[in-house]
Amino acid sequence: MRTRRIGSLEVSVVGVGCNNFGRRVDEAGTRRVVDAALEAGINFFDTADIYGDEGASERFLGRALRGRRGEALIATKFGKPMDEARRGARPEYVRRAAEDSLQRLGTDYIDLYQLHEPDPEVPIAETLGALNELVREGKVREIGCSNFSVEQLREAEAAAQPGSARFVSVQNEYSLFHREPEEGMLAECARQNIAFIPYFPLASGLLTGKYRKGAPVPEGSRLSGGRYGTLLSDENLERVEQLISFAEARGRTLLELAFAWLLDRPQVASVIAGATRTEQVRANAAAAVEWHFSDADRAEIDRILGPG
């Protein structure tokens, strides 16, 4: 498994998104996924305080890593509402949220602590000050942000005090089907030397290859209904078929294309994909192939995907 850097952290280029832990995956299932990830060379686990009921994802992940904490790099997040009192990025809450996450994770430090979303009511300088205190105390190694715009990243850069902790990563949605980060974000990451972490890299499963044009939707799958069902449009499924043909013509799979296309961007540090079963983890790890795209390859992918 190759690695890339997020600040001082050497992370595997494939990570595990832990949003299903405590929701679609119970504690025993979490342990199986974590075991499979470590065996496959994955060391990066991304969770959040709001994943699962009352922080269940953090609790399950922490217990699964008990006795082998040093083998893993844990990223977690704060800021999205857990309830009316536990929300936002005010300095006093930053500390409370961190202490709560440390307790749930059963660890005395967090490798990457991320502000889950901007808080328009709190100056970013105040939030950075509180995060810097946690870094100075050794409770947090690096800090990052999520769902930030280019302008908000620049504001944070300007607010960071010399010698103090600064954001070393930004985590936003990015995939073959969602390319907004190409509109300035990746360039800003390169300028600030900030790692980019894409979430929903498989477009909520659309890029796994299990959804095919003319075939029934797998029962119980994520895209079988609800707010994700709109992804299964005829237009998107036709694009999937063309992407599968593109990959197979080069001896690759759609899953390999989805991972390699993201990792072709030097700003992308780790592709975090959710997993509910061990076979998904192994498939994701195996998909992190080195695939260097030619200009013609990129143009063909752009043609398949079309505008937007």
Which entry of 51, 93, 199, 211 is annotated as an active-site residue?
A: 51
Query: Reduced to 3 DSSP states, what percent helix, strand and coil does the chain have, rounded to the nearest 5?
Result: 45, 20, 40
* Residue 113 annotated as catalytic: no
Q: Which residue from 123, 133, 113 is spatially nearest to 49, judged by alpha carbons?
A: 113
Exposed/middle/buried for residue 172 (C-beta within 10 Å: 0-12, 13-18, 19+): buried
Residue 222: both structure tokens together = 């994520």
State the pairing for strand pair 73-78/110-115: parallel
Joined tokens for residue 129: 């000050």
Decide: helix, strand or coil at residue 211. coil
Phi-psi domain of 21 (left: phi exceeds 0; alpha: psi -120 through 50; beta: other): beta
- Helical (H) or strand (E) element with 48: none
What gap in Å lies between CA 188 and CA 26, rounded to an integer?
Answer: 39
Are 269 and 6 in contact by the 8 Å Cβ rule? The answer is: yes
Angle between helices 27-39 and 278-286 (to 10 degrees): 30
So which residues are the catalytic ones? 51
